[in-house]
Structure 1
């Protein structure tokens, strides 16, 4: 097609504006966040190198490759207009629900639970993806609602169903820890959206009343975890073994640690699941309290960045997404560290960007991609608030 001169220059100008737009977005990407994530992932590489017996295989090299892919994914999502993400949030949520159903029908069974499905060369844990998509869907529901509408209980029924549906499907796997975290993330978005505190108090009271009934419905291994948490010494060679060995490793590191590759609990295989759930104890044993606090400090800075992004966002959708994703990352860290220190019952929650695992790495970096998009498009204009 031949263009006359005015059309030619108009098209060149449009292409130049688009190029400048992409360059401007690349410049606006939160590179501070990227550097923080690189720092956390580097700690993970060192810990997994040690967990692998002082070799990059089988854990550290895969960790680095997955993180590299995750950074590319994060930056790619950051360039996508946040309004486009909001428009298709429901699609992601429904897709995640479909994957949860597929897990129950055809999922892979591991360690007594049915939580994974094969997606090409990787095993995907849809419950981790669900937490990200739930945040987006809830933010899309609340972002244009007025204060009066949020105060209407009928308006809260659909988003409550949106939370309870995946929680119920995750409980069926069974995966109590992830189900509780998913519910907590949903609660954080509800609270940030302006739902009154007394409604949370009512739910908490109902939960306290139902707790004895819920306890009786738990699986035997779940009740054993609670019993072991209350008294690990009651079964030191069985259910209490993991937490006892974890505490020994944490305490033996002292202030400065035993040194890289010198951790006895990990390298003599006393420490269980040292590459996944108990990776933090590897860090504390070899690098001591200083190394453990440095790791927690970097993780805390990531959480702080997420909440600062929420404050800087000029639209409600971005604020709710940043708060939800920041809460998700915080709960990852809190539950894992509290678990390995014996503060809560042991459960299968990895330490993000540090523990070995492709599904957790993929979903965490996916979430940070959405967070970065909020940061880049924090001044985007949405439609007016609906009454």
Structure 2
């Protein structure tokens, strides 16, 4: 201690050349020193020990080393009022790291330390929003548990507002465009079929006039030509032919069925395309799940959520055909509010329509699998402005 022993051990913890086993043993020795009393804890903290241990926790590739670092930080905070706030901030500083295990451990320790504090650090709001896009369920679970504790502190309303905002991403493609794009794509297919049919008739007449009898090569050249799309200005002249084509081709005008099949295929595990979910959609699902749990925890919180405009945003998330988990979590959250407050159920019924509302109440955790693009568009385009004044 007197000749730089603590500093030497701390250097081992943050050295890029040190082995993980050496770092782990250095942390264990430092833990033994810290357990000797508050005086030794203060000496370690004065030697920038908190920063070194937190850095080791964030950058280590071994879970055992990360757990040893977490244990040491908790020891340094316990019974050490002079430096407990620095330990608290050091753990918050670990959250943006790239290690899911370190994030999980830091969240758990922050939750433990938060219980003994009178206020919460406002930096946690941004950290919570950031971590909700994690694809690791253990990290999301740790975030939700921390949020439940933070509901007793001064930043509770800001966290709730941030969660509600995540339900409706503002800087991504609006979900209602799914239906528009599908309709546009299908109209293009209709135009191609019309042009193919029209060109085929024109080419047959043209070949019969120009090609001599028995000229097989000339006929082949015409039949292999690619159809030229008909321009939109000519569509009005082809309305009669288009109606006849639609009668002969039942597949036309089935946009909803096509998109419904596409939505089902999106869930198939046999799909060869690895569709990585957008971070905002992962946040959307996690935020809905968190709001559901918070609503169950306290009627006061559930009323706050409603007054902040969560109903409209939950309906929006329920229409996200691109990410089914967001649909499911939003459905479960809204279903709980509907069952708890009759007035909310009436508002949702008016926004959804009686048919979709009946399916929603009957099977809130699975009805979205059969949702059509038109129904999703109704949810995404909802104009519910209920803030719960009557509750």
**TM class by smaller structure:** under 0.3
Query: Which of the two has higher C-alpha Rg?
Result: 2
Larger relative CO (CA 8 A, sep 6+): 1 or 2?
Answer: 1
TM-score by length of 1: 0.27
